[in-house]
A and B are shown apart, each in its own frame.
Chain A
Amino acid sequence: MDSQTGRAGYRLMSDLADTWLLFVLTLDATIRVAAPLVLCAMAGLFSERSGTVDIGLEGKMLAGAFAAGAVAYVTGSAWIGLLAAMAVSTALAMLHGFACITHRGDQVVSGVAINVLVAGLTIVLGIAWFSQGGQTPSLPAAARFQSIVWPFADTLRAVPILGTLYAEIVSGHNILVYVALASVPFTWWVVYRTRFGLRLRAVGENPSAVDTAGISVTFLRYRALLFTGAFCGIAGAYLSTAQSAAFVRDMTAGKGYIALAALIFGKWRPMPAFLACLLFGFLDAVATRLQGVEIPGIGQAPVSLIQALPYALTVILLAGFIGKAIAPKAIGIPYVKER
């Protein structure tokens, strides 16, 4: 009798441990999937809080991924690849600024132009330079960002709960994941605690007031786009030199739009946007894990529908059914200096 309860109890414990491990592994996958989303969402936050719509996050990230993959292969250094990614992505952000801020072009059209242009250009250049059907050659380990194992991670793995958390979630990511995590407090600090950030928010709400105070609306918005470009570049480098070992055609696969959705879902604020990225990343990780799994009563898990949840949730939010997403007031309107 005693031994039977004992055995049942043991089985329960081991089941629990398995479930816990599964949960932790899914969280771990969540962080890996969410990292580029977080970087992109922060990128979009700078642009959109300053009043410039940016649906070109996708294109800038893709360009960054290509630049990082190509340059890291040629130079053998992931860091130079990262710099190249940031440079290319920032150049595209400046092009966006040139069209929308200087020439007061339609911001959405400019974003679409960048996305389409980059989708074609990365493949054309990829084929011309590397002749591998649009891919960049696969990178040796030295030219990639490797996972960093934190001290004692392997020793502590045996410790229940906290040990697995430490080994799987805190430790064992590449540096860009930590950069992504750090980008959130950084963005918060810049936007809410610096003079530049105050002006940035003001220029997105009421540019003429900022102009009256003697501050250049144009210059401010361009500076905001510098941040956007840099962050999108890092996100791109993450895709091609950290998560994978090469650039693959269309490797962003809509992540830029998911990040944009997360930004809106987070109501254009750093911390909520970050949580939205984690939520969307989690949904993606769960969907990947459920691939081909039979759920009792439902049958095959509807993976494609789970993957569509971020988009559906964003639409529902935008419709005002779960809170209200209020965009920066001056967003999308080119600023015309009055005489």
Chain B
Amino acid sequence: MSRELPAWIDIGILPALNILMAFLVAGLIVLMVGENPLEALDVLVAGAFGYPGSLGYTLYYTTNLIFTGLAVAVAFHAGLFNIGGEGQAYIGGLGVGFAALSLDTVLPGWAVIPIAGLAGGVFGAAWAFIPAWLQAHRGSHIVITTIMFNFLAAALMVHLMVNVVIEPGQMSPQSRELLESSWLPFAHEILGGLGIEVTPSPLNLSIVWAGIACIFVWLLIWRTRWGYAIRTVGKNERAAVYAGIDPKRVVVVAMVISGALAGFVGLNEILGVQHRLLLNFTAGYGFTGIAVALMGRNHPAGIVLASLLFGALYQGGTELDFEFQTITRDLVVVIQGLVILFSGALAFMLHPTALRLWRGWTARRAGRGTV
């Protein structure tokens, strides 16, 4: 008799059932407010993929979610819950903005863009470093400190935008527009240059960087000594100590990488789309990253798929506003919450039942074999 569930049930069927439950409950809610869930689904899918340019928007959202999803996942592998992706992305954007605003008049674009991207990573990493260091060396709980750092980031940004960065003579707190040389090229421009005409959308070159980040995280976690150390500390800190791994260093390194990944949201938003520094450009991507990482089971491949799903939901959600009287894009937030609930908090709910069924089935089969 088999004692454990086979992998195809444990990482195939059960997670799929969890996500299915999340969407079923979301469907019930749509039904409750008096709309047809299938119609809503139809509008979501059509909004995400169905009209010219919608795929570009979907992929633009996907880019942000890949960054924040990877950020949450890297911390998860070290046994840390980084709720601070939102703040790290915000401060990362500040870094991108600072670098680009101070360099775009003196350097050519091909020099400004990498420097600004680097600044985004460094700023995001620095914002994650403080909670990480406090966790490692002072024992302060990283969940609480990263929550606090989200609020601190928001307050700092308001202060800087209103008092320091604001364009003189402007009423709304935003910086001057960056010179066009430092913008990331849009996908429709690149494809247009190759002779492929596509509808303009905010999708830009940063999606390539997101792809590189995925490969980097996969290599880091499963193919390097650092990744081994991160996973060991995440699984069993005491065993890690006996294996000669310093958990304090691992905590700090994992969080710094996590923060840098979140910071790259700033690259997409500031250099790719907004072309200026402004408030609230993170728009909850840091929190959605949690849902993405849980759904993608902390693996880059899973994260890409989950980001694509949530990117489609973000984009399709805007279409809900136009098509329905009673449901809006806020439905996407509900779905996100349900995914976190079922794929995260209730991830083990079906496990005992599945195990019982599996054991019963294998026992019966074995019994039949002996007769």
Does A314 sit at the interface, judged by CB under 8 A?
A: yes
Contact between B337 and A254, CB atoms less than 8 A apart: no
Q: Does A261 lie at the interface of the complex (its beta carbon under 8 Å from any beta carbon of B)?
A: yes
Return A170 CB to nearest CB of chain B, in Å.
32
User: Given known contacts A105-B346, A109-B345, is B148 in contact with A116 (CB within 8 Å)?
Assistant: no
The answer to whether the Cβ of A318 comes within 8 Å of any Cβ in the partner chain is yes
Interface digits, A108-139 against B, CB 8 Å rule (1 contact, 0 not)? 11101111111111011101110100100000
Nearest neighbor of B328 in chain A, beta-carbon distance: A127
Binds B, one of A72-80, A161-169, A299-307: A299-307
| 5 closest residue pairs by CB, A with B | A117-B337, A120-B333, A308-B155, A110-B345, A318-B140
B78: A residues at CB distance < 8 A:
none
List A contacts of B29 (CB < 8 A). 121, 124
B280 interfacial contact with A, CB 8 Å: no
Contact of A254 among B144, B151, B330 (CB under 8 A): B151
Q: How many contacting A-B pairs (Cβ < 8 A)? A: 156
Expressed in whole angstroms, the minimum distance between the Cβ of A298 and any Cβ of chain B is 11
Q: Is the CB of A127 within 8 A of B326?
A: yes
Q: Is the interface of B mostly helix, strand, loop or mixed?
A: helix
Contact B333 A318 (CB under 8 A): no
Closest B residue to A317 by beta carbon equals B140
Complex CA gap A105/B131 in Å reads 24
Choose from A55, A307, A314, A318 the contact partner of B138 (Cβ within 8 Å).
A318
| B325 lies within 8 A of chain A by Cβ | yes
Nearest A residue to B330 by beta-carbon distance?
Answer: A123
Interface size of B by Cβ–Cβ distance < 8 Å? 52
> Does any Cβ of B come within 8 Å of A104's Cβ?
yes
Of B145, B147, B337, the contact of A116 (CB 8 Å cutoff): B337
Q: How far is the CB of A51 from chain B (nearest CB, A)?
A: 14
Known: A312-B152, A318-B140. A120 touches B337 (CB 8 A): yes
Q: B328 contacts which chain A residues (CB < 8 A)? A: 123-124, 127
Q: Does A61 contact B (CB under 8 A)?
A: no
Q: How far is the CA of A318 from the CA of B144 in the complex (A)?
A: 9
When chains A and B are docked, how far (Å) is the Cα of A119 from the Cα of B159?
Answer: 26
| Cα–Cα, bound, A114→B155 (Å) | 24
Partner of A113, one of B139, B144, B325, B340: B340
**Contact between B341 and A110, CB atoms less than 8 A apart:** yes
Known interface pairs A120-B337, A123-B328, A319-B134. Does A103 touch B156 (Cβ–Cβ under 8 Å)?
no
Shortest CB distance A16–B (Å): 33
B interface residues (Cβ-Cβ under 8 A, vs A):
29, 33-34, 81, 83, 130-131, 134, 138-141, 143-145, 147-149, 151-152, 154-156, 158-159, 162-163, 287, 290-291, 294, 325-328, 330-338, 340-341, 344-349
Chain A residues within CB distance 8 Å of chain B: 53, 55, 95, 98-100, 103-106, 108-110, 112-121, 123-125, 127-129, 131, 134, 254, 257, 260-261, 264, 300, 302, 304-305, 307-308, 311-312, 314-315, 318-320, 327
Complex contacts, B338 vs chain A, CB 8 Å: 113, 117
Nearest chain A CB to B143 CB, angstrom units = 5
Cβ of A305: which chain B residues have Cβ within 8 Å of it?
155-156, 159
Whether the Cβ atoms of B337 and A304 lie closer than 8 Å is: no
Give chain A nearest CB distance to B347 CB in angstroms: 6
Complex contacts, B145 vs chain A, CB 8 Å: 315, 318
8 Å CB contact of A109 from B144, B331, B340:
B340
- A116 B346 Cβ-Cβ under 8 A: no
Contact residues in A for B134 (Cβ distance below 8 Å): 315, 318-319
**Assuming A128-B33, A315-B140, is B83 touching A108 (CB within 8 A)?**
yes
Given contacts A112-B83, A119-B337, contact A315 B148 (CB under 8 A): yes
Q: B340 — nearest CB in chain A belongs to which residue?
A: A113
Known A-B contacts A108-B143, A121-B334; A308 and B149 likewise in contact (beta carbons under 8 Å)? no
Question: Cα distance A233–B332 when bound, in Å?
Answer: 25
Name B35's closest neighbour in chain A (CB-CB).
Answer: A128
Task: List residues of chain A with CB within 8 A of the CB of B345.
Answer: 99-100, 103, 105-106, 109-110, 113
Contacts of A113 in B (CB 8 A): 337-338, 340-341, 344-345
B contact residues around A95 at 8 Å (CB)? 341
Question: Which of A99, A254, A300, A307: most chain B CB closer than 10 A?
Answer: A99
Residues on the B chain within 8 Å of A302, using CB: 159, 163
Besides the known contacts A103-B349, A105-B348, A128-B34, 6 further A-B residue pairs in the complex with CB atoms under 8 A apart:
A99-B349, A105-B347, A113-B340, A124-B328, A128-B33, A304-B162
Least CB distance from A100 to B in Å reads 7
Question: A98 to chain B: which residues have CB within 8 Å?
Answer: 346
B15 to chain A, nearest CB (A): 14
- Flag if A314 contacts B144 (CB, 8 Å): yes
Closest to A99 in B: B345
Tell me whether A105 and B344 are in contact (CB under 8 A): yes
Give Cα A115–Cα B347 distance, bound, in whole angstroms: 18
How far, in Å, is B147 (CB) from chain A's closest CB?
6
